[in-house]
Amino acid sequence: MMSLKSMKCFKQRGKKGKKHSDEADLPRKRRLSRRGRGNFANDRPPVFGIVGRTSRQARFQVIPDTAHRTLDKWIVHWTHGNTLVYSDAWQGYNDLTRKQAQVNHHHNEWARDDDGDGIREVHTNRIEGLWTGLRSLLRPFRGISKHYLNGYVAIYQCYVNQRSIMPGFLSQLVKLHSSST
């Protein structure tokens, strides 16, 4: 069986075969050598997101870090005062300004029923699904400059929010069209 590397059509082309000018600062090593959460300074900018359970409206923002004060600022900015925030147990979410309920993924807790009605209302499933969609949108680009990431995130936010209002919008349009003809 022939390996892919030995086939002529799979030879590397372009800049892949060229050495990086500074061996100590290889892009892949920069990304993989730092443990923990990323920040804008270390080339791993975090994206913060929040989604309404009833409105299904989502907001995303590239943020400088995942510190408590940064996360709390955006949560307060994007939510009403009486909002109940559902999150995972990341330490940055502790002691938020808004009332909250958390699930602890490290203890294999994915959803919890707090009020005893049989419905597991404490979960982060919707935002986790949206993260999967954002990763799928970004994957074909195989790396985006952190300076342009916010634009891609904004496009994804528009896509998510438009999709959630589309049926009502189309229904109103059809009503208008059918009443005028």
In a domain, 169, yes or no: yes
Q: Which of 151, 111, 150, 157 is nearest to 133 (CA)?
A: 157
- Residue 36: the pLDDT is 65
Q: Which of 6-10, 89-93, 107-111, 141-145 has the lowest mean pLDDT?
A: 6-10
Report whether 71 contacts 94 (CB < 8 A).
no
Would you say residue 13 has pLDDT above 50? no
Residues 6+ apart with CB under 8 A from 34: 42, 44
The verdict on residue 3 lying in a domain is: no
146-163 average pLDDT score: 88
In a domain, 20, yes or no: no
Within-domain flag for 79: yes
Q: What is the pLDDT of residue 56?
A: 85
Q: Identify the residue whose tokens are 């994915």.
A: 110
CATH value at residue 69: 3.30.420.10
What pTM, to 2 d.p., does this model score? 0.68
Q: Number of structural domains, the chain?
A: 1
For residues 126-147, give the mean pLDDT. 87
Q: Which residue has the higher pLDDT, 172 or 164?
A: 172
| Per-residue pLDDT reduced to its tens digit, 95-127 | 889 899 888 888 888 888 888 888 888 888 888
Mean pLDDT, range 166-170, rounded to an integer: 69
**Would 108 be classed as within a structural domain?**
yes
In a domain, 31, yes or no: no
Residue 166 pLDDT: 66
Gyration radius of the chain over CA positions? 22
Domain carrying residue 116:
37-180
Tracing tokens 């299904």 back to the chain, one arrives at 56
Q: Is residue 51 part of a domain?
A: yes
- Is 13 a member of any domain? no
For residue 136, pLDDT beyond 70: yes
Mean pLDDT of the chain: 79
**Secondary structure (H, E, C), the chain:** CCCCCCCHHHCCCCCCCCCCCCHHHCHHHHHHHCCCCCCCCCCCCCEEEEECCCCCCEEEEECCCCCHHHHHHHHHHHCCCCCEEEEECCHHHCCCCCEEEEECHHHCCCEECCCCCCCCCEECHHHHHHHHHHHHHHHHHCCCCCCCHHHHHHHHHHHHHHHHHHHHHHHHHHHHHHHHC
